[in-house]
Each structure stands twice: as structure tokens, then as C-alpha cells.
Amino acid sequence: MESIDLAILAQLQAYQHCHRWIIAYSGGIDSTVLLYSLVSANQRLQSPKPIIALHINHQLSEFADQWQQHCQQTAQSLNIDYFSQKADVFSKGKGVEAAARDIRYQVFEQYLQPGDCLLMGQHRNDQAETLLFRLLRGAGVKGLAAMPISRPLGKAMLLRPFLDTRREDIECYAREHQLQWVDDDSNVNERYDRNYLRHQVLPVLKQRWPGVEGQLSATAVRMREADQLLEQLAQSDLQQLNVQMARCGSSLDLGQLVTLISPEASLLNQGLSDARVNNLLRYWCFSMGYPLPQSEHLEHIKSQFLNGNHLASSACVSWKQTECRQFGGRLYLMSTLPKFTEPNSVLKWNMETSLSLGVAGALHWVDVDQQDNSALRLVKRPYTIRWRQGGERCTPSHRQRSQTVKKLLQEYGLETWLRGRVPLIYMGTELVAVGDLWVNKGYEAPSETTGLLWQLGASNLLG
């Protein structure tokens, strides 16, 4: 077997627990060599897996349909399954390359099943280009780690078996096996940053440093090791801060964080340095799936919330549809809340199904444990949903006297940015419950096995 086939076989043997091999097949030389070598190596496994060639037609070239047809014919000639999907690419200000990449991964995650392994054809030269591109954009350690050889992708795995293979070796394999592939005309368009690096910058660097691509790839490996160490440090630091899931996003103990960065803690060698605070804030965002803040955002977060007057701060630090806020001594991280205006109309709810409240979330009727005293149980009847207009009063079931809803929301500790969105549940003109915070006296249903849930999740926030 050739070196490429041996490399693929070794990778497949490490992932034999996977159920199917899904190859991201564009029809270009890299994915074509990956496809042929995958078919060859799979036959040598003790338990060969089904192979599926997955082609995404971005419809960006006049030849896109021809490439799709070529990929289908190649898959048929190899007697493997084939799936293609056309995609609409909208740049939305981020550039065509980034937009096309985003749509590819959306299709991948939609198509992949639990236990699948998606194989992609990026090689050592691609890794060098990625690191150099990110370096020029000012990336930190995580960005300079470039592409990992494997990582989870939804409920499946992503594997890049060529990541330590040179482009020249892939081209040699294709010629020796007389393979047929398509040439994407956009790959020579130097208007795209990666193509400019590939055709103008890296060749000059190679003249001076012939092994530059291997060295850059090795640097990416070292950056990945450094990133893993930083993540472990951040995990240890976050464990001291009582991180909790919130109704929107996540929160941590702001008072404890302020204590850890105090001069007193530093004198005792127990404090967190400025760099360490930046590290834990970045990792907190990363672990929760939010975009990483830039340096200016981190400085704004620290100046607004990590000071002696942090409990009084009503600031909101925003970046890339993400924001940080403070409430009740906790720092909150969440997706940016869409603008909310109290509807004038009344919504009807029969409690048979969940009720969408648009950007105010949704009301759900969920099963609860009979022993769960925290569950909010309400008599099942038709209700109407309204929002605060001001001056509403009610008497929660555990109180003897009525109080304004405004005052009660303060007592219940609902975050200030959610108080205008909380749904008020009425039966006729009577206020029966407020969100899933409390049921008013006379409307309790302690024997109910279902409870009320007001949810402001990511899907709800999209309205």
C-alpha cells in the first residue's frame, strides 16, 4: 500500500467504532484522492463501513451543476452511495468564503447521524495557510491552533486524515492513479485572502524557508497544546465561581470573581492575574457556544463589572449578538435579546400545546415530579396571556396580602431585562399567574402532575 493509503487506514482503524464514513466530496483533487484512498482502506478493515459521498452545490460557479454531475458519476463508478444538496450562499457582510463555509457546516450537521464520521480533505498546506491567515488577523492561541485533526461535530465526529500530508503527495497520488477531478476556477481568484496567501505569499516564504509549511503546521500543533493547557486552567478558575445556567444563557458569581482579583488575594498568592481573568472569560464564552470577545470587549467588561461598584452597574457590554450584564451580584452571559414591545393584543392559551410568545419566549406545560415542591402547578383551563401595563396587583399563593407585580418581580429576583417580557396569565379579568414565577391564591393545583414553564431559549428568541 502507498503512504497515503496507509495513513488513511491507520486513521480509520482508530475510528472503527463509527457507523458510517461520510466524505465531504467537492470533486476537487483533495477530496477525490481522499475518496479513492478511503474506498481502498475501508476494504482492508476487519469490519468495513458504508461510505457516502456528500456533495454540496454552492451554486457560485457557472460550472457548479457540471461538478455535481461529475461527483455523482464518480460515486456510482465506485459503487458507493451519493447525496447532494444545493445551497444558497448569502455573505451578509462576512465574505463569500466564510458564508460558504457556514452553509457547508449547516448541511453537514443536518445530514450527519449519531455515530457517523465525516472525513474532510484538508492537508498540511491548508493548515499552514489557516495559521498564517489567522495570524495576520490577530488571532490568539485558540485561533493559531488552526484546524484540529478531529473534533465532535453535532452528534458525529469530524476527521481530517490528510492534515499531516503534503499537497505534493496528494497530487502525485492523483496522477499515478490517473484520477479525474474538477478544478474550481475560484481557487485562482486572488481576490480571496486564502488564495492570495497560497499563490503570492507562501511561494515567496518557501524560497527563503523551504520547510515553512511543515513548520507552520508544527506550530499549530504546539498552539493546540498551549490552548488545552489554558482551557484546563480556565476550567479550574471557573469552578470557584459557581457557574449556573440562567433563564437566558449562563451566570457566575461576580462577587467571588472581584474577590479573586483583589490586591489582598494577590498578596496571598491566591489571586487571578489580568491575563488569567481574560482567559477564563474567553473560555466561559467558548464553553457556552458564544463568539469570543475581542480585547476591547474584555477591557470593557472588566472596567464595568470588576470594580468596587460592580453591584450598581447597569451596563451592557455587547459583541457579535452576545452580551454581558450584571444583576444580583452575578455576571450574566447571553445572546443579545431582540427588541421587545408589549403587544396590545391578547393571546389565548388552552394549555393543550406550547404557546409561542415571539421574542418573549414560550409557555410550556411539562410533566413534573409529584414530590417537586418547586414546580408551578396551575389548574388546567383556557387562559389569556397579556403583558404588564403598570399598576397590576396580585396575591401569590404563599402570601396573605396583595402586592404590585412590579414589587413582586423585584422580590422574586427576576433579572431586570426580563421583567417587561414576563407573561401575565389571566382567566377573564383575574390575574392567575406570572410567568412560571408564582401562582396566585385560589388557583393552585397541588395534585397536578404537570407544571408551567416559561422558557426564553435560543429558538424562542428568534421569534
What mean pLDDT is reported for the chain?
88
If you average pLDDT over residues 187-193, what whole number do you get?
87
Q: What is the C-alpha separation between 289 and 457, in angstroms, rounded?
A: 14
| φ, ψ at 359 (rounded to 5°) | -75, -5
Reported as a pLDDT band with limits 50, 70 and 90, residue 448 is low
Identify whether the C-beta of residue 156 lies closer than 8 Å to the C-beta of residue 117: yes
Identify whether the C-beta of residue 117 lies closer than 8 Å to the C-beta of residue 193: no
Q: What is the C-alpha separation between 56 and 64, in angstroms, rounded?
A: 10
Look at residue 288 and tell me whether its pLDDT is greater than 80: yes
Q: What is the C-alpha separation between 363 and 424, in angstroms, rounded?
A: 11
Percent of the residues in the chain that have a pLDDT greater than 90, as a whole number: 61
111 phi-psi bin (left φ>0, alpha ψ -120 to 50, beta other): alpha
Q: What is the C-alpha separation between 336 and 140, in angstroms, rounded?
A: 24
Predicted pLDDT of residue 459: 39
Residue 250 or residue 185, greater confidence: 250
Identify whether the C-beta of residue 8 lies closer than 8 Å to the C-beta of residue 36: no
Look at residue 128 and tell me whether its pLDDT is greater than 80: yes
C-alpha cell of residue 86: 444545493
Look at residue 460 and tell me whether its pLDDT is greater than 60: no
Reported as a pLDDT band with limits 50, 70 and 90, residue 462 is very low
User: Which residues share a beta bridge with 323?
Assistant: 318, 334
Q: Is 31 annotated as a binding residue?
A: yes
Look at residue 266 and tell me whether its pLDDT is greater than 80: no
Predicted pLDDT of residue 378: 78
Q: What is the C-alpha separation between 461 and 463, in angstroms, rounded?
A: 5
Q: CA angle, corner 164, sides to 162 and 170, nearest 5?
A: 50
The neighbour count for residue 117, using CB atoms within 10 Å, is 23
Identify whether the C-beta of residue 432 lies closer than 8 Å to the C-beta of residue 383: yes
pTM equals 0.81
Q: Is 29 annotated as a binding residue?
A: yes
Which of 230-234, 406-410, 444-448 is predicted least confidently?
444-448
Helix, strand, coil share of the chain (percent; to 5): 40, 20, 40
Residue type, 422: V
Reported as a pLDDT band with limits 50, 70 and 90, residue 267 is very low
Predicted pLDDT of residue 463: 33
Kindly list the distances between the CA atom of residue 417 and the CA atoms of 140, 315, 334, 340, 364, in Å, as whole numbers in the listed order.
Answer: 32, 11, 12, 10, 21
What are 196-239's pLDDT values in tens digits? Answer: 999 999 999 999 999 999 999 999 999 999 999 999 999 999 99
If you average pLDDT over residues 173-199, what whole number do you get?
91
DSSP line for 52-77: EEEEEE---STTHHHHHHHHHHHHHH
Question: Three-class SS string for 137-201?
Answer: CCCCHHHHCCCCCEEEECCEEEECCCCCCCHHHHHHHHHHCCCCCCCCHHHHCCCCHHHHHHHHH
Predicted pLDDT of residue 112: 95
Q: Is 27 annotated as a binding residue?
A: yes
Predicted pLDDT of residue 263: 65
User: Which of 72-81, 357-366, 370-379 shows the highest mean pLDDT?
Assistant: 72-81
Virtual torsion, Cα 92, 96, 100, 106, nearest 10 deg: -20
Domains of the chain: 1-217 (3.40.50.620), 240-335 (1.20.59.20), 347-455 (no CATH)
Predicted pLDDT of residue 450: 67
Reported as a pLDDT band with limits 50, 70 and 90, residue 93 is low
